[in-house]
Amino acid sequence: EESYGITVMLRLPGDVEVMLYEPRHEMAIEEPAASSLPPAVALLNEALHGPVPGAATFLNPGDRGLLASLDALSAETASARPGGRSSVAAHVEHLRYGLELMNRWASGENPWDDADWAANWVRQEVTEDEWRERTRQLATEAHAWLEAIKRPRAWNVADATNALGAVVHLAYHLGAIRQVAQAAAGPRATG
């Protein structure tokens, strides 16, 4: 006798989602229900723009987030390589490229076959105009990715993991940027 499992997604008060799984049910759901990824949306928004007042999850209250932190840097600061480390400019290009790939993937392309991760680390120094353009392009790709994960779709485990991984990757580079350029640092923890 063949039996199926059934998965039900519930949205509870407080915007909490719960997944229930019944392993032996006579009915199967062929496709996962379309939904956004609320935790990924909240975390990416916080990484980009700082925490919502009273709702910080990983940045300290009052943090300005990645994009405003980058806007505070000059091209000279963004091009510096303390201790021979990669410059902030290179981190920004790496993030921009990674988000471009994720946006292409979200629109149905397969960007992984010809992805060249090493190429976006080559250029370490930028002029003031190049720096402003690079940060503008990062903001464009980041906001497009934020919209992509807000759109309801049938997220399987691998796709949802990749989507959340892109947010974690951005948060990692936010920390790396702040280690390279003190001017990009967020506020210290209080209390």
Which segments within the chain are labelled E, that is strand? 4-12, 16-25
Listed residue (189, 188, 183, 173) closest to 48, CA to CA: 173
3 state DSSP class of 9: strand
8 A C-beta contact, residue 121 and residue 94: yes
- Tokens standing for residue 97: 């490229």
Query: What's the pLDDT at 5?
Result: 56
List the domain boundaries for the chain: 1-30, 32-184
CA distance to 2, 25, 139, 174, per residue, from 146 (Å)? 41, 36, 10, 16
- Tokens standing for residue 48: 């980009």
All residues at 6 or more sequence positions from 159 whose CB lies less than 8 Å from its CB, including other chains? none
Return the number of other C-beta atoms located less than 10 Å from residue 131's C-beta: 22
Query: What's the pLDDT at 132?
Result: 98
Q: Cα separation of 177 and 113, whole Å? A: 28
Listed residue (191, 166, 173) closest to 43, CA to CA: 166
Residue 28 is inside which H or E element, if any? none
**Tens digit of pLDDT for each residue in 107-130?**
999 999 999 999 999 999 999 999
Query: What's the pLDDT at 6?
Result: 55
Q: Cα separation of 110 and 77, whole Å? A: 35
Query: What's the pLDDT at 63?
Result: 94
Terminal alpha carbon distance of the chain: 60
Pick out the chain residues at pLDDT < 50. 1, 3, 25-31
Q: What is the dihedral of CA 116, 176, 170, 161, to 10 degrees?
A: 80
